[in-house]
Amino acid sequence: FMKVGKSFPPAEELSRKVQGLEQLIESTRNQGSSLQESARKAPKPPSLSPQAVKHLWIRTALFEKVLDKIVHYLVENSSKYYEKEALLMDPVDGPILASLLVGPCALEYTKMKTADHFWTDPSADELVQRHRIHSSHCRQDSPTKRPALCIQKRHSSGSMDDRPSLSARDYVESLHQNSRATLLFGK
Report domain extents, the chain.
2-32+47-106
Question: How many Cβ atoms from other residues are within 10 Å of residue 67's Cβ?
Answer: 22
The lowest-confidence range among 58-62, 117-121, 173-177 is: 117-121
pLDDT, one tens digit per residue, over 155-165 is 555 444 444 55
Confidence grade of residue 182 (pLDDT, cut at 50, 70, 90): very low
CA distances from 137 to 16, 105, 179 (A): 38, 19, 25
pLDDT, one tens digit per residue, over 56-79 is 888 888 888 999 999 999 999 888
Q: What is the pTM (predicted TM-score) of this model?
A: 0.51
Average pLDDT score over the chain: 71
Question: How many Cβ atoms from other residues are within 10 Å of residue 70's Cβ?
Answer: 23
